[in-house]
Amino acid sequence: MLAVTSFLSPSINWSRLNLWIVLGAFLVAPTGLSFAAETDTMQKGEAAFGQCAGCHTIEEGGPHLTGPNLHAVFGRDIANAPGFTYSDQLLAMQGVWDQNRLNRYIARPKLAVPGNKMPYLGLTSPHMRSDLIQWLESNPAKLSPARANTSIMNGARLATACAACHSFGKGEANSIGPNLWGVVGRLIASVDTFDYSERLMRRSGTWTTTALDEFFAESKEFEQGSHMAFRRLMHVENRQGIITWLSTLSDEKEALGNKMTTTAK
Ligand code: HEC
Ligand code: HEC
């Protein structure tokens, strides 16, 4: 305090000023470093979430995919995302997802909660788990645009194979398969100008992201109707990419959807 007062006094002591500048540099340098380390952890954590993003969304109100939406999961009650059907084993667990529980579950889901239905082998690297959990703890609002775009662009790329049989644009004619504009959230087999197979007609409900994920994953041969084998859709990340991309084909996201449609053709 004494030093500060004399520093602020009108008669500037230059040697003391130099000392302050040097001290200041010392004070700033470590903070700058730890800030860089922090963003590094966040980036690595988000990158590690790439292993989860095929099954989990992170944004508030995001859809359940194969796994529940994970918004604000750190500190959240276990098995408590509304609208998701959990296994009895996860439902039987008491408490919240804290550091310790997340760490054990993510490392070895099958060992940590025997009988739970998360089809994931585990993230074995302790460093990656630590970064990922810190990222989850920071309560991310969404994936950074660059990362989210990677998923959509991957979907758009994969969708070029669908374009052989499907049109994607609003109001476009059916092809070998029905037009897919607005398919996410649409009733199954509901394009009235398209002649569906009985098999698809018998399926009831809406094409939610979960229903689409199951549809694309359910058969090794992917042989619903006249669908051909889509090996690449056996990978959850690819299914997630396609579904994220399909969900851009809607009135609300029209501008983006049209842009993506052009990319897919
Ligand atoms: C192949 C799909 C899949 C992958 C990949 C996956 N999960 Fe899951 N996850 C699930 C399913 C399904 C459940 C529900 C498990 C149950 O009900 O038994 C789940 C449940 C969870 C839960 C419990 C959520 C709650 O509301 O209680 C957490 C936490 C979680 N996963 C984290 C992760 C993390 C982190 C990763 C990546 C390191 C990951 N998961 C990768 C499918 C997946
Ligand atoms: C070889 C042609 C062909 C290809 C390629 C193809 N589809 Fe299809 N798709 C069809 C046909 C035909 C139907 C109608 C199936 C029926 O009636 O059983 C269909 C139906 C669908 C449906 C249900 C639509 C509704 O209105 O209920 C979705 C969703 C779908 N396809 C998505 C895709 C995606 C995504 C791809 C690319 C990964 C793809 N399809 C590739 C021919 C194809």
Is 50 exceeded by the pLDDT of residue 263?
Answer: no
Ligand nearest to the CA of 192: 2
Find the 224 Cα to ligand 2 centroid distance in Å: 8
Q: Tell me: the pLDDT tens digits for 134-162? A: 999 999 998 888 777 777 777 777 787 78
**Local confidence band at 67 (pLDDT 50, 70, 90 cut-offs):** confident
The 10s digit of each residue's pLDDT in 219-236 is: 555 454 445 546 667 777
Percent over 90 (pLDDT), the chain: 36
* Secondary structure percentages of the chain, helix, strand, coil, to 5: 50, 0, 50
Average pLDDT of span 172-182: 92
Kindly state the tokens that stand for 149.
Answer: 């775009």
Question: Higher pLDDT residue, 16 or 37?
Answer: 37
- Nearest alpha-carbon partner for 222 in 207, 212, 209, 237: 212
pLDDT at 77: 97
Question: pLDDT (tens digit, 9 = 90+) per residue, 184-217?
Answer: 999 999 999 999 988 888 888 999 988 888 888 7
Q: Position 67: which residue type?
A: G
In CATH, the architecture of 145-264 is: Orthogonal Bundle (1.10)
Please tell me what DSSP assigns to residue 77.
B
Residue 11 has pLDDT above 80, yes or no: no
Domain ranges (residues) in the chain: 1-143, 145-264
Q: Do domains 1-143 and 145-264 have the same CATH topology?
A: yes
245 — pLDDT class (breaks 50, 70, 90): confident
Helix (H) or strand (E) holding 134: helix 126-137
How many angstroms does the Cα of residue 152 sit away from the middle of ligand 2?
19
pLDDT for 139 equals: 94
The number of residues in the chain equals 265
- Banded model confidence at residue 70, pLDDT cuts 50, 70, 90: very high
Average pLDDT on 167-195 reads 92
**Residues 121/226, Cβ–Cβ less than 8 Å:** no
The CB of 188 under 6 Å from ligand 2? The reply is yes
CA-to-CA separations, 16 to 9, 24, 41, in angstroms, rounded: 12, 12, 38
- CA dihedral sign, ordered 181, 186, 188, 192: negative
Percentage of residues in the chain having pLDDT higher than 70:
75
What mean pLDDT value characterizes the chain?
A: 78
Higher pLDDT, 241 or 153: 241
Total-model pTM: 0.57
| HSE, side-chain direction, 13 A CA sphere, residue 212 | 26
Q: Is 165 in the pocket of ligand 2 (CB under 6 A)?
A: yes
Most confident of 76-80, 231-235, 241-245, 260-264: 76-80
pLDDT at 189: 94
Residue 161 Cβ inside 6 Å of ligand 2? The answer reads yes
Topology at the third CATH level for domain 1-143: Cytochrome Bc1 Complex; Chain D, domain 2 (1.10.760)
